[in-house]
């Protein structure tokens, strides 16, 4: 009777806990995508702001890159963007506060639009960056520049990531995406031969005593906090890389991938070793009985048998590397450039989110862009988990 | 069958008993935990990582002398602090940059009046590797370096060596201030190396020959060399030091702020006054920032 009741209770509890986990995962992904999708409705300049020029200016539209270069004084003549041959005069809202005191602008800045209007009207080469709330709508002789909304290709194909540039931030995810892939794939290239070697040693060659000692130690590696790996990388690995390859900087994609390789090792070793040890004793003995040497048995029987397990180990290792944040943040230098060699400094997606989310104004375009990055990362890791799932189910021998 | 019934009822009894007991103790616990907080209000402070050590130390000293006071201090960044102030989840927002125009607007739109208090100053030093021959730069030269126009130390009178500028993360208050004050609102060059913390910057500059970066004065140590800076096209060069920051001859100095809502002034007043008092300003110096007077 009691057994029956407890059976039912346990069954119910397990169902409930399963349901809770499922709901939590669903909830997190919905939240992530809901916050991220808002990005595509954002204008290319900061929300609530517009760009104003003198009405006689022939320019009607500027791209976000042109806006950025104008405000960085890289474009200094209207001719460059198709206008008259005149020097560009930049005007920011703060300049009005240097000219007039708070009192002169009236209570709640009532007189601000008027003063801004005068300012823009007085210079025909001006480009003014002003909040829409104080837009000088009543003043004649001023026009507002048309600003495009951010598009899919701005985000996914953009090559510059400058999220806090004013007035026109650039959200090109390409360098971050490639940086993440470069570091992770390089890490797997380092970790795979080493991890496989250790796994073969542990499952086939080591005696029971050594195995019992080594396995927990290797698994302990995954218990070290990633910030400790990061610090180790910054203080030890990065100068080492710099000296060995005679580089001017030690914080490179290579340094990051070395650290990630060390971090991915325990996963690869324990999953691959488990798979190899699962090879039936009968198969091993049959091979040896036919006169095969131990090495022949390993690479003709054990490895083919454990192939799916080994592949799963690799994919899990890549997953670990792609999602790793803190260690990478500390050692890769975080420069958002399109990587051209392994000695470039790179910026990864998780590092970007970790470094920037804290200071991004909540609900703003930058904030949404970071959530969208989270979605991208979520999709990448999901693809890898699905691949791992498919591979580990397949038995091909 | 009878025995089973008996066991079942006993089981039921014990379960109810345990639940009742648990409820009881739980109630008691929450009651004791609640009593002190109803008497004293807990002040929550959130925001800039730069101001964090100062506030933590001040809160510690303040709570030691005022036994009934309770202050919770958390970091998260200036932006997070100000956002929490808007949402009402913090009483004081600590910030290493002044409130942005649109942040002020949002608060104004919500009908909230916000008070700003400067609690200390932080001087920023421009640093290079100790072996670098260059020991002084003008603001224009620094701007050229960080916007990517000057690429070799040769152009500045140093060795023939590539310049490697390190910046702070784009969202930190330090980055914003450097951009505003030294780069005059121009953006850092694209693809600049950026480090997550002041300590990491010092570490990297100390081991990279061509490096240049900026950090808070409090972080300077012998692994890096601080440059003299000129804001008047090279007429006078001033070394970063506490004296020079205090007498305003050193130009790269930023104020550190507390922001709070007018409505919660009574609640936070005594702590803010404490930080501004001579005792509080001693803590400012101790932590490595520049006092107000």
Q: Are strands B114-128 and B136-138 parallel, antiparallel or unpaired?
A: unpaired
Residues A333, A336: Cα–Cα separation, whole Å: 9
Q: Both A279 and A366 in a single domain?
A: yes
Do A306 and A341 sit in the same domain of this protein?
Answer: yes
User: Taking the mean position of all CA atoms in its chain, how far away is CA A4?
Assistant: 50
Instruction: Determine the Cα–Cα distance for residues B85 and A349; give it in Å rounded to an integer.
Output: 29
**Among A68-72, B11-15, B102-106, B164-168, which range has the highest average pLDDT?**
B164-168
Task: Measure the CA–CA gap between A108 and B22, rounded to whole angstroms.
Answer: 57
Q: Give the model's pLDDT for residue A202.
A: 92
By the CB < 8 Å criterion, does A42 face chain B?
no
A202 with A92, same domain: the answer is no
Contact between B80 and A242 using a beta-carbon 8 Å cutoff = no
**Average pLDDT of A326-344?**
89
Using an 8 Å CB-CB cutoff, list chain B residues near A355.
169-171, 194, 196
| Number of domains present in the structure of chain A | 2
Find, among A389, A228, A206, the residue nearest to A309 by Cα: A389
Residues A201 and A321 grouped into a single domain: yes
- Do B185 and A166 count as a contact with CB atoms less than 8 A apart? yes
Please indicate if any CB of chain A lies within 8 Å of the CB of B286: no
Query: What is the 8-class DSSP label of residue A298?
Result: I
Residue B93 main-chain phi, psi, to 5 deg: -105, 125
B128-246 has the same fold as B40-121+255-287: yes
Give the residue from A149, A166, A197 where a domain finishes.
Answer: A149
Which residues fall within 8 angstroms of residue A389, CB to CB, at 6 or more apart?
Answer: none
Both tokens of A15, joined, read 């169902």
> CA separation (Å) from B64 to A340, B272, B281?
56, 16, 17
- Residue-level pLDDT at A41: 76
Contact status, residue A359 vs residue A16, Cβ threshold 8 Å: no
pLDDT of residue A223: 85
Q: Is B3 on the interface with A (CB under 8 A)?
A: no
Q: Give the per-residue pLDDT at B36.
A: 41
Q: Domain for residue A32, yes or no?
A: no
pLDDT band at B9 (very low <50, low <70, confident <90, very high): low
Token pair 């800045």 is found at A109
- Taking CA–CA distances from B1, the nearest residue in chain A reads A1
Instruction: Please report which helix (H) or strand (E) contains residue A273, including its range.
Output: helix A253-277
Q: Are A71 and A168 in contact (CB under 8 A)?
A: yes
Phi and psi of A371, rounded to 5°?
A: -65, -35
CA distances from A342 to A135, A243, A253, A320 (A): 49, 15, 5, 20
pLDDT at B78: 81
Q: Which CATH architecture has domain B128-246?
A: 3-Layer(aba) Sandwich (3.40)
The parent domain of residue A364 ranges over: 174-393
- Please report the sign of the dihedral spanned by the C-alpha atoms of residue B175, residue B176, residue B180, residue B184: positive
Note the pLDDT tens digit of each residue in A198-223.
Answer: 999 998 888 889 999 998 898 888 88
Q: Does A355 map to a domain?
A: yes
Contact B185 A92 (CB under 8 A): yes
Residue A179 pairs with which residues in a beta bridge? none
Query: What is the reported pLDDT for B39?
Result: 44
Q: For B40-121+255-287, CATH number?
A: 3.40.190.10
Q: Are residues A293 and A379 in the same domain?
A: yes
Q: Give the pLDDT band (50/70/90) at residue B6.
A: low
Averaged pLDDT score across all residues of chain B: 83
Query: Which is more confident, B64 or A95?
Result: B64
* pLDDT tens string B60-109: 999 998 888 899 998 877 888 888 898 888 999 999 888 877 778 788 88
pLDDT of residue B171: 67
Q: Distances in Å between the alpha carbon of A70 and those of A43, A92, A126?
A: 18, 12, 11
Partner residue facing A359 (CB), from B79, B162, B208: B79
Region B108-126: mean pLDDT is 89
Task: Over range A78-87, report the average pLDDT.
Answer: 84
Tell me the domain boundaries of chain B. 40-121+255-287, 128-246
Claim to verify: residue A213 and residue A252 sit in the same structural domain: yes
Q: Looking at per-residue confidence, does A57 or A8 come out higher?
A: A8
Q: What are the angstrom distances between the C-alpha of A273 and each of A218, A287, A313, A386, B51?
A: 12, 20, 9, 21, 49
Q: Are the CB atoms for A165 and A74 separated by under 8 Å?
A: no
Measure the CA–CA gap between A364 and A372, rounded to whole angstroms: 12
Local structure of residue B251 (DSSP, 8 states): S
Q: For A168-191, what is each residue's pLDDT tens digit?
A: 888 889 999 999 999 998 999 999
Co-location of A185 and A311 in the same domain? yes
């Amino acid at each position: 009777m009691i057994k029956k009741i407890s059976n039912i209770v346990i069954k119910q509890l397990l169902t409930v806990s399963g349901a809770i986990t499922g709901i939590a995962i669903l909830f997190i992904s919905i939240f992530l995508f809901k916050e991220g999708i808002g990005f595509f409705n954002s204008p290319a300049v900061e929300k609530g702001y517009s760009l104003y020029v003198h009405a006689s200016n022939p320019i009607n539209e500027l791209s976000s890159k042109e806006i950025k270069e104008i405000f960085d004084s890289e474009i200094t003549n209207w001719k460059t963007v198709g206008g008259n041959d005149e020097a560009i005069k930049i005007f920011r809202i703060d300049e009005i506060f240097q000219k007039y005191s708070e009192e002169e602008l009236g209570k709640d800045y009532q007189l601000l639009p008027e003063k801004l209007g005068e300012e823009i009207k007085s210079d025909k080469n001006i480009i003014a960056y002003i909040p829409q709330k104080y837009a000088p709508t009543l003043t004649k002789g001023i026009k507002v520049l048309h600003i495009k909304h951010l598009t899919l290709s701005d985000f996914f194909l953009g090559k510059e990531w400058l999220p806090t540039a004013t007035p026109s931030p650039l959200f090109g995810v390409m360098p971050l995406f490639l940086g993440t892939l470069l570091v992770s794939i390089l890490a797997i290239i380092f970790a795979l031969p080493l991890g496989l070697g250790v796994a073969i040693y542990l499952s086939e060659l080591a005696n029971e005593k050594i195995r019992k000692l080594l396995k927990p130690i290797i698994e302990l590696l995954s218990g070290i906090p990633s910030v400790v790996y990061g610090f180790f990388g910054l203080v030890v690995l990065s100068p080492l890389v710099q000296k060995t390859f005679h580089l001017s900087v030690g914080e490179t994609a290579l340094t990051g991938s070395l650290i990630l390789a060390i971090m991915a090792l325990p996963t690869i070793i324990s999953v691959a070793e488990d798979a190899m040890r699962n090879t039936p004793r009968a198969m091993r003995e049959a091979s040896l009985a036919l006169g095969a040497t131990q090495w022949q048995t390993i690479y003709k029987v054990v490895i083919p048998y454990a192939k799916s397990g080994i592949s799963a180990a690799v994919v899990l290792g890549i997953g670990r590397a792609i999602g790793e944040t803190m260690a990478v943040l500390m050692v890769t230098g975080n420069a958002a450039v399109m990587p051209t060699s392994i000695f470039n400094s790179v910026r990864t997606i998780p590092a970007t989110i970790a470094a920037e989310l804290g200071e991004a104004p909540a609900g703003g375009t930058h904030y949404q862009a970071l959530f969208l990055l989270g979605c991208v990362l979520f999709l990448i890791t999901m693809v890898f988990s699905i691949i791992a799932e498919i591979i580990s189910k397949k038995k091909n021998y | 069958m009878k025995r089973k019934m008996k066991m079942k009822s006993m089981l039921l009894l014990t379960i109810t008993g345990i639940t009742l007991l648990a409820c009881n103790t739980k109630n008691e616990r929450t009651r004791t935990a609640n009593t002190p907080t109803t008497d004293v209000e807990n002040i929550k402070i959130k925001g800039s990582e730069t101001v964090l050590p100062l506030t933590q130390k001040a809160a510690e000293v303040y709570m030691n002398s005022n036994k009934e006071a309770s202050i919770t201090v958390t970091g998260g960044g200036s932006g997070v602090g100000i956002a929490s102030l808007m949402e009402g989840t913090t009483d004081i927002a600590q910030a290493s940059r002044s409130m942005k125009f649109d942040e002020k607007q949002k608060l104004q739109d919500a009908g909230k009046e916000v008070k700003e208090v400067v609690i200390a100053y932080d001087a920023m030093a421009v640093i290079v590797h100790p072996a670098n021959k260059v020991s002084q730069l003008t603001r224009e030269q620094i701007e050229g370096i960080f916007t990517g126009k000057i690429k070799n130390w040769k152009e500045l009178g140093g060795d023939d060596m590539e310049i490697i500028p390190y910046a702070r993360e784009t969202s930190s208050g330090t980055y914003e201030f450097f951009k505003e004050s030294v780069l005059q609102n121009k953006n850092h060059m694209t693809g600049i190396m950026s480090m997550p913390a002041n300590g990491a910057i010092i570490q990297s500059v100390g081991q990279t020959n061509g490096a240049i970066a900026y950090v808070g004065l409090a972080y300077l140590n012998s692994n890096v060399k601080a440059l003299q800076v000129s804001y008047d096209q090279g007429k006078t060069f001033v070394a970063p030091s506490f004296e020079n920051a205090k007498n305003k001859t050193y130009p790269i100095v930023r104020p550190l702020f507390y922001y709070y809502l007018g409505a919660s002034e009574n609640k936070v007043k005594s702590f803010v006054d404490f930080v501004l008092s001579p005792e509080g300003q001693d803590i400012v110096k101790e932590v490595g920032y520049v006092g107000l007077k």
